[in-house]
Amino acid sequence: MSKFVTLCIVLLFVFLSQLDVVAAENRQIDVKSEAAVLLDSDTGAVLYAKNGEKRMYPASLTKIATAIYAIENGNLDDIVTVSANAVRAEGTKVYLNEGEKVPLRKLIQGMLINSGNDAAVATAEYLDGSVDQFAAHLNTYLTTKIGVKNTHFTNPNGLFNEKHYTTALDLAIITNYAIKNPVFSEIFGTKELKWNGQSWNTTLITHHLMLKGEIPYPGITGGKTGYVNESKQTLATTAFNGKLHLTVIEFKANQKIDIYNDTIHLLDYGFTNFQHKLLQRNEIFKEGRNEYFPLHDALITEPNKGALQKLNQQGLLLLENSNGEVMQRLQLNPKTVKPVLKNKPKTIENQAYHLNAIYGIVFIVAIGIVMSLRNKITRKT
């Protein structure tokens, strides 16, 4: 075999290998859930989205919002008296009794770990007096404090209501916000908890199969399940691999195994294909004659091969993936644009020339004064 033929074979092999890499990068993730979002929990970068902004029924994932609202607006040590209305809540319960007195922290644990609808209603009534008033305040909180745009809740537990909806992206943003609170993060990641109630003494065990360990996956840090007939299977999951914290939200899978497989695929995709990068404070980005910079060191998420960076005229830095989808937005600060000078600016030499001229004038004036004084002295003599 000639050297030329050997070289051709090698080049062909390299070319085909590169085709395989490109195909692997562009292959669509097989997600069966109707809507799904994968976020970087630290930066908020959107790493994957399927119907991310479509309105969906969240079922018990609603309790993520209820819990963080309660933690930030209530006193965890307050004792809540359970109402008859809370006891009558449908669906999954922690079997509270009317008149039972329960610390707020325990109610939050009951709603997140065991998905207790009665605990969620008791929490809402403690915070705002009624479920309706609670829903109004919660919606305002989610919009103004957390920044969601397409969410409207009518109750604290996620029982079906046509006007009770959110999106996968909104709920991912809510979850990302919530897990930064240490109290929420601890409860969200609790696998089991001793429960001593008036009518129910047991050990609460999380319903989330990956957090529980029934479906093994390394690095799971928290999770919440949900189901009503109209929403089907819903799932929220957080994980950490030592480098990246990821948040996965899945809506409307027909089978429980499907929603967990979707979550595994998305976590694998995120951990395998993305990394963090630090934009240094005062690093300069240019758009035309305008210059912008980060005021502080800024953490961004990008594909392992790097992200496409685009800067608009308002100083908004857009980080895009290989498909041209915006993953992250970062507002930069403008530097003052130097005006174009019509006249030739003074150089150092020009400035020195003018300074020497001034010194010369002063010297001549001084000589004149000395000569004048000398003449006066001579006349007197």
- Asked if residue 103 belongs to a domain, the reply is yes
Q: Are residues 284 and 268 in the same domain?
A: no
- Domain extent at residue 331: 280-362
Q: Are residues 293 and 151 in the same domain?
A: no
Report the C-alpha gap between 347 and 6 in whole angstroms. 65
Report the C-alpha gap between 140 and 302 in whole angstroms. 33
Convert the pLDDT of each residue in 15-29 to its tens digit: 333 333 333 333 468
Does residue 297 or residue 141 have the better pLDDT? Answer: 141
Closest to 52 in 3D by CA, of 319, 223, 255, 249: 249
**pLDDT classification of 313: cutoffs 50, 70, 90:** confident
Report the C-alpha gap between 298 and 188 in whole angstroms. 27
pLDDT of residue 328: 87
Q: What is the mean pLDDT of residues 86-107?
A: 98
Q: Are strands 274-279 and 298-303 parallel, antiparallel or unpaired?
A: antiparallel
Q: What is the mean pLDDT of residues 269-283?
A: 91
Phi and psi (nearest 5°) for 193? -150, 130
Does residue 325 or residue 265 have the better pLDDT? Answer: 265
Q: What is the mean pLDDT of residues 141-158?
A: 98
The CA-atom distances, in angstroms, between 184 and each of 7, 88, 120, 171 are: 61, 26, 15, 15
Convert the pLDDT of each residue in 177-221 to its tens digit: 999 999 999 999 999 999 999 999 999 999 999 999 999 999 999
- Asked if residue 12 belongs to a domain, the reply is no
- Asked if residue 24 belongs to a domain, the reply is no
- Asked if residue 181 belongs to a domain, the reply is yes
Convert the pLDDT of each residue in 320-346 to its tens digit: 887 788 888 888 888 764 434 444 444
Q: What is the mean pLDDT of residues 66-88?
A: 98
Report the C-alpha gap between 193 and 200 in whole angstroms. 13
Q: Are residues 246 and 305 in the same domain?
A: no
Which amino acid would we find at residue 124? A
Q: Are residues 137 and 256 in the same domain?
A: yes
pLDDT of residue 365: 54
Which of 274, 290, 317 is a domain's end point? 274
Please say whether the beta carbons of 246 and 38 come within 8 A: yes
Lowest mean pLDDT among 37-41, 325-329, 348-352: 348-352
Q: What is the mean pLDDT of residues 129-141?
A: 98
- Asked if residue 10 belongs to a domain, the reply is no
Report the C-alpha gap between 120 and 123 in whole angstroms. 5
For the chain, the average pLDDT equals: 85
Does residue 342 or residue 104 have the better pLDDT? Answer: 104
Burial label for 34, CB within 10 Å (0-12, 13-18, 19+), is middle
The CA-atom distances, in angstroms, between 142 and each of 48, 228, 311 are: 23, 23, 29
User: 61: domain CATH number?
Assistant: 3.40.710.10
Please say whether the beta carbons of 258 and 250 come within 8 A: no
- Asked if residue 379 belongs to a domain, the reply is no
Q: Are residues 292 and 178 in the same domain?
A: no
pLDDT of residue 146: 98
- Asked if residue 20 belongs to a domain, the reply is no
| In the predicted structure, residue 379 carries a pLDDT above the cut 60 | no
**Distance spanning both ends of the chain, measured CA to CA:** 119
Q: Are residues 228 and 285 in the same domain?
A: no
pLDDT of residue 4: 42
pLDDT of residue 291: 82
pLDDT of residue 296: 84
Which of 216, 246, 274 is a domain's end point? 274
Q: Are residues 316 and 199 in the same domain?
A: no
To 10 degrees, what angle do helices 62-73 and 117-128 make?
Answer: 40
- Asked if residue 1 belongs to a domain, the reply is no
Q: Are residues 269 and 342 in the same domain?
A: no
Q: Are residues 349 and 212 in the same domain?
A: no
Q: Are residues 250 and 178 in the same domain?
A: yes
Count of the separate structural domains present in the chain: 2
pLDDT of residue 25: 39
pLDDT of residue 363: 56
Please say whether the beta carbons of 276 and 243 come within 8 A: yes
| In the predicted structure, residue 361 carries a pLDDT above the cut 70 | no
| In the predicted structure, residue 258 carries a pLDDT above the cut 80 | yes
Q: Which residues are catalytic?
A: 60, 63, 115
Lowest mean pLDDT among 3-12, 156-165, 320-329: 3-12
Which of 243, 274, 305 is a domain's end point? 274
Give this prediction's pTM.
0.80
Report the C-alpha gap between 176 and 359 in whole angstroms. 68
Q: Are residues 298 and 348 in the same domain?
A: yes
Q: Are residues 268 and 303 in the same domain?
A: no
Convert the pLDDT of each residue in 209-253 to its tens digit: 999 999 999 999 999 999 999 999 999 999 999 999 999 999 999
HEC readout, the chain: CCHHHHHHHHHHHHHHHHHHHHHHHHCCCCCCCCEEEEEECCCCCEEEEECCCCCECCHHHHHHHHHHHHHHHCCCCCEEECCHHHHCCCCCCCCCCCCCEEEHHHHHHHHHHCCCHHHHHHHHHHHHCCHHHHHHHHHHHHHHHHCCCCCECCCCCCCCCCCCEECHHHHHHHHHHHCCCHHHHHHHCCCEEEEECCCCEEEEECCCHHHHCCCCCCCEEEEEEEEECCCEEEEEEEEECCCCEEEEEEEEECCHHHHHHHHHHHHHHHHHHEEEEEECCCCCEEECCEEEECCCCEEEEEECCCCEEEECCCCEEEEECCCCCEEEEEECEECCCCCCCCCCCCCHHHHHHHHHHHHHHHHHHHHHHHHHHHHHHHHHC
| In the predicted structure, residue 150 carries a pLDDT above the cut 60 | yes
Q: What is the mean pLDDT of residues 140-150?
A: 97
